[in-house]
Structures are given as C-alpha cells and as structure tokens.
Amino acid sequence: MAVLGIDIGGTKIAAGLVTAQGEVLAREQIPTAVELGPQAALERLGGLVAELEARAGTKATACGVGAPGPLETRTGVVLEPPNLKTWWGFALRERLAARLGLAVTVENDANCAALAEARFGAGRGVGTLVYLTLSTGVGSGVVVDGALLTGERGFATELGHTTVDLNGRLCGCGLRGCLEALCSGTAIAAQLEEALANGERSSLAAPVTAAQVVDAVRAGDALAGRVWAGAMAALSAGIGNFITAFNPGRVVLGGGLTAAGALLFDAVRTQAPSRALPVLARGVEIVPAALGADVGVLGAAALCLPARQSTTR
C-alpha cells in the first residue's frame, strides 16, 4: 500500500509514492511554471503520477497535498499565496481529485512539514510537538497526540505572527512585533541594514543576508552580535510561550536559519526555558529538524496515512 504525497511550491512541484512506514518508493519533480496557471500544472502532474506508479510497481490509494498558505483546507481552495498568484481561488482539492481519480487531502506546507517530522523525523517518540521553520519567514505547525492542530476553520497555527514585542518592528502581515518580524532570516538581515543606515559601524555593508550576519557574528563583529542576540532573545521568548501554551515533548526547528547550528541552538536552549512556566519547561527538548529534501512529500503523504501505523508510540 502506498499513498501519493505532492508538495506544491512557487518554483517546483515534488511528488512521491510513500509507504505507511514513510519510505519513498519513487519521487520526481517538475517546475511549477506559475505563469501557465494551475490547470496546466495539474495536467503535467497527472502524467508524472502515472510514471511514478509504473516505476514503483504500485498504485496510489490516496493523495495528500501540501501547498503554500493561506489555504482553505476544508474546501481545498487556494486563497492568496504571494508566490502562486495565478492559483488564487483555485479549487485544488476538487480539480486534483478529478484528474487523479483519488481522494485528496490538502494542508498548508508548514503543517505538512510538522506532521512529517512528528511521524518520521525529529519528533518520533513524542505525542505533542511544536515545529517552527525559520527561513525568509517563520512558519509553524503543532502536532497534538499525533494529529495536526488545525483550529476551528483550519488556519492553525501561525506562530510566526504571535507578538513577542508590543512595540516591535512592523511585520509583513500588518501586525507589530511578530516573531517573524524579529527573527526570520529576512528580519535579521533587515535589522542589520537598519543599524547601518543609522550610521552604526560593522564589517558588513548593505545589502546583507542572514547567512552573512551569522558569519560576522562568528568573526566577532559587534553589531552583528547585537542583532543576532536580539533575534535569539525574541525566538526564545516565542518558544517559551509555545512551551507554556502547548506543553510539547519536543520543539523542532527547521529552515535555512538553523544552518547557524550551535550559535542558534545554544542560545534558545539556554533562554527559552526561562521564558516558560517552570513546570512546563522541565524536560522539553529543542532539536533540529531531521528530514531533508523529502520533508514536503512525506508530510503531504502523512495527511492520508493513519497515525497509529507510523508513530513509535
């Protein structure tokens, strides 16, 4: 038995046939070609699925799809993801189900990654997990007793847009002092550039990337060190809040910013527990994500795999 996992992104669509144990039997990817629109992508995807099934020697019994939010998961309609403009309002679940002749489940990509880590990656062995992806933005997913926390209307969770500084920087979402506005890769680079524009001195010159800020911290640049420390304090406050809110066994951090390694993990492991109620902070592990490039396909597939078969609990 295998299910189909499809991960739709702004530049590529990845698909794989996945067993209940999380083994990817066959995988392939195609360009999204946003300019050609969603129906054209679905047509090419149909051919790709037939090829994957032939290669694996088995037919898919169901299909899970991860796609950029915001997403109306109950109806499977794509709302307004900034990097998929031609897909806005597209009835993804209905159209894909018709094309493939399979039941289709749709979920936002950060939730899919959280579920993949919970079932097959760094979250194995714990029932409740908070997942954060730290890259250009801050995405999140919360798994409770092996199942995704999706909320009343399916939009949970958006932990990157919780407030950690009442009067903090303006976020792309319109709110102020969001976690994403303080510790995403984009925000870290922007804060360093803002300090440079204010005449502060650094070994860096604008424009900068978060990776350059990390390198400068390691090289002893004082301004980079201060910006990084501020970002880690904000991230730790956020993680502390989530520990208090959800009582996770583990907090899993993924995304490009985690390439900073010990510089990031040492900071949050030291500071986050002191931002949570002590009884909840005790024993929580903060660990790096364990799944590589297959995380999107595995998470999408996990949407239609029964939790019991694929967890170690």
Report the interface residues with Zn ion, using CB under 5 A: 161, 171, 173, 175, 178
CA contacts within 13 A on the Cβ side of 275: 20
Taking the least distance from each CB to Zn ion, the nearer of 178 and 276 is: 178
Taking the least distance from each CB to Zn ion, the nearer of 172 and 256 is: 172
CB of 254 to Zn ion, least distance (A): 19
Reported in sequence order, the residue ranges of 135-235 that DSSP labels E, i.e. its strands, are 138-144, 147-148
| Phi-psi group of 102: left, alpha or beta (phi > 0 → left; psi -120 to 50 → alpha; rest → beta) | beta
Beta partners for 15? Answer: 6, 28
Token match 């709302």: residue? 79
Taking the least distance from each CB to Zn ion, the nearer of 67 and 171 is: 171
Say if residue 124 is exposed, middle or buried (CB neighbours under 10 Å; 0-12, 13-18, 19+): middle
Q: How far apart are CA 259 and CA 108, in angstroms?
A: 24
CB of 142 to Zn ion, least distance (A): 17
CB of 175 to Zn ion, least distance (A): 5
CB of 294 to Zn ion, least distance (A): 29
Q: Which amino acid, residue 146?
A: G
3-class DSSP state of 19:
strand
Instruction: Say if CB 134 and CB 188 are below 8 A apart.
Output: no
Residues in contact with 155: Cβ distance below 8 Å, sequence separation at least 6, in sequence order: 69, 70
Q: How far apart are CA 119 and CA 115, in angstroms?
A: 6
Taking the least distance from each CB to Zn ion, the nearer of 32 and 163 is: 163
CB of 225 to Zn ion, least distance (A): 25
Taking the least distance from each CB to Zn ion, the nearer of 3 and 257 is: 257
Tokens linked to 4: 């189909």
CB of 115 to Zn ion, least distance (A): 23
Taking the least distance from each CB to Zn ion, the nearer of 100 and 178 is: 178
CB of 187 to Zn ion, least distance (A): 10
Taking the least distance from each CB to Zn ion, the nearer of 123 and 139 is: 139
